Amino acid sequence: MDVTPHSPPRQHLRDELIRRGLRLPQLRLLVALRETGQVSAAAAQVAMTQPAASRLLADLERTVGAPLYERNARGVTLTPAGLALAGKAREVLHGLDEVQHEITALTSGERGTVRIGSVTGPAVELILPVIRELRVTFPEIELSVLVDTSDKLGDALFAGDLDFYIGRIPDGMSPSAIALEEIGPEPVSLIARLDHPLSRRDTLSVADCLAYDWVMQPEGGLLRRTAEGYLLRNGLRPPERILSTSSLLLTLAIISETNAIAPIARAAAEFYASQSAFGGRIRRLDVAGDMSVIPYSLISLRDVEATPAARRVLNLLREKTRQISASTVAT
């Protein structure tokens, strides 16, 4: 049997050098000494006198328990221990510089995560241009965008999943808990496939559209209520055949493959009717030009302060809103 006594394993102490009294000025001085090779030059680089630098280096050697440099005719040369510590010191100081840059970017709003919610129209008309601009001007801001109905966006806001959203106040939301900035109404357009039979008519009315299937939100949806109310105010019955879905993607797919008609936000209709979107297979029908949903707003929680990045995005959205309003007035 081996009865040779074994010494207990040496326990690694976290932050051992810090516990011994290691200080950042010592690391700065050692890095400067490695770069200059002279105590006097290193002292000047860190803005201290040579005697103070010599005392600081002596304290550092006592802290680490090893000689860190040797004097020679030209100045000093770092020992292997000094070179090892200087290399790590440089990494630490560089890491602190990076952290300071990151903190500055976060506090100035140049960096951070912003979670936005939006109903369909402003998602295309407002948020998409802001995303393009941010990718150029502030690429370190990470955006998360949720496009849904106002009731779902309101739930996400109160759950802490959104910084703000563009939409409307859903039923049951307490007005005292939110801050609201009204933006404007959301025009609605009727869309159909590019070669729809109605496209061959010289004149077109909303009544002509009722001969075809309609794709709309489920009952109670704001866009559906808007379309049905518009028909009733114009002396028309609601469509006889309705396919209900809350999915815009499914709506567009059905429209592009059938003779169905759908009411969607005008900004989205114009986007998807362009040749660059959805294969150019969707058109906006030249009817119901005055159909519009009630105004939408920028909505946030009143007692929650926006992050610097969120404030920057909000300011960009406000500026984009002003530009759209100015162009609308000009035309």
Residue 5 lies in a domain: no
Confidence of residue 193 (pLDDT cuts 50, 70, 90): very high
pLDDT tens digits for 265-284?
A: 998 898 888 865 555 689 99
In this predicted structure, the answer to whether residue 10 has a pLDDT above a threshold of 70 is: no
In this predicted structure, the answer to whether residue 286 has a pLDDT above a threshold of 50 is: yes
In this predicted structure, the answer to whether residue 189 has a pLDDT above a threshold of 90 is: yes
Instruction: Indicate whether 269 and 225 sit together in one domain.
Output: yes
Instruction: Indicate whether 94 and 189 sit together in one domain.
Output: no
Percent of the chain residues past pLDDT 90, beyond the cut: 54
Strands 242-244, 262-265: pairing is unpaired
Give the domain CATH number at 100. Answer: 1.10.10.10
pLDDT for 327 equals 65
Residue 185 lies in a domain: yes
In this predicted structure, the answer to whether residue 29 has a pLDDT above a threshold of 60 is: yes
Contacts for 104 with CB less than 8 Å, ≥ 6 apart: 110
Overall number of domains in the chain? 2
Residue 233 lies in a domain: yes
Residue 34 lies in a domain: yes
Give the range of the structural domain holding residue 294, as residue numbers without chain letter: 112-330
Instruction: Indicate whether 181 and 276 sit together in one domain.
Output: yes
Domain stops at, among 57, 89, 106: 106
When pLDDT is averaged across residues 85-113 and rounded to a whole number, the result is: 83
**Which pTM value belongs to this model?**
0.64
Domain stops at, among 61, 76, 106: 106
Neighbours of 158 (CB within 10 A): 14
Least confident of 7-16, 85-94, 306-315: 7-16
Instruction: Indicate whether 270 and 230 sit together in one domain.
Output: yes
pLDDT for 1 equals 43
pLDDT tens digits for 140-167?
A: 899 999 999 899 999 999 999 999 999 9
Residue 294 lies in a domain: yes
Residue 9 lies in a domain: no
Residue 30 lies in a domain: yes
